Chain A
Amino acid sequence: MTPADVDNRIRALVEPFNKKGIAIEDATTFAGDLEFDSLTVMDFVAEIEDAFDVIISMNQQAEIENWGQLVAAVHKLQDS
Chain B
Amino acid sequence: MSETLTTAQPVDLLSKFDPIIQTREQLLAAGVEDPFNLVMEQVLSPTRAICNGRDTILLGTYNYMGMTFDPDVIAAGKEAMESFGAGTTGSRVLNGTFRDHRDVEAALREFYGMDHAMVFSTGYQANLGIISTLAGKGDYIILDIDSHASIYDGCAMGKAEVVPFKHNDIEALEKRLKRIPEGAGKLVVLEGVYSMMGDVAPLKEMVRIAKENGAMVLVDEAHSMGFIGEHGRGVAEEQGVLDDVDFIIGTFSKSVGTVGGFCVSNHPKFEVMRLVCRPYVFTAALPPSVMASSATSIRKLMHGGNKRAHLWENSRTLHKGLIDLGFKLGTETPQSAIIAVIMPDLERGAMMWEALLKEGLYVNLARPPATPAGMTLLRCSLCAEHSAEQVQTILGMFERAGKAIGII
Contacts and interface: CB of A to CB of B under 8 A. Distances in A.
B163 interface: yes
Contacts of B374: 37, 39
Interface in B161-212: 161-166, 172, 175-176, 179-180
A50 B373 contact: no
A57 B172 contact: no
A60 to B, nearest CB: 8
Contacts of A27: none
A57 B161 contact: yes
A50 B162 contact: no
A53 interface: yes
A59 interface: yes
Contacts of B176: 49, 55
Contacts of A39: 372-374
B interface, over-half SS? mixed
The interface size bin for chain A is: 10 to 19
The interface size bin for chain B is: 10 to 19
A57 B179 contact: no
Interface string A47-80: 0011001110111100000000000000000000
Query: Which of B140, B162, B180 has the largest count of A CB atoms less than 10 A from its CB?
Result: B162
A15 to B, nearest CB: 20
Contact of A59 (B161, B179, B369): B161
Interface in B339-390: 369, 372-374
A55 B163 contact: yes
Contact of A42 (B140, B155, B164, B179): B164
Contact of A55 (B166, B180, B372): B180
Contacts of A50: 175
A46 B172 contact: yes
Interface in A1-55: 37-39, 42-43, 46, 49-50, 53-55
A75 B338 CA distance: 44
Contacts of B140: 57
B164 A58 contact: yes
B277 interface: no
Given A37-B374, A42-B145, A49 B179 contact: yes
A38 B164 CA distance: 12
Contacts of B372: 39
Contacts of A43: 166
8 contacts: A43-B166, A46-B166, A49-B176, A55-B161, A55-B163, A58-B164, A59-B161, A60-B161
Interface of B: 140, 145, 155, 161-166, 172, 175-176, 179-180, 369, 372-374
Given A49-B175, A49-B176, A55-B161, 15 more contacts: A37-B374, A38-B369, A39-B372, A39-B374, A42-B145, A42-B164, A43-B166, A54-B179, A55-B176, A55-B179, A57-B162, A57-B163, A58-B155, A58-B164, A59-B161
Q: Which 6 A-B pairs have the closest CB atoms?
A: A57-B161, A58-B162, A55-B179, A57-B163, A59-B161, A55-B163
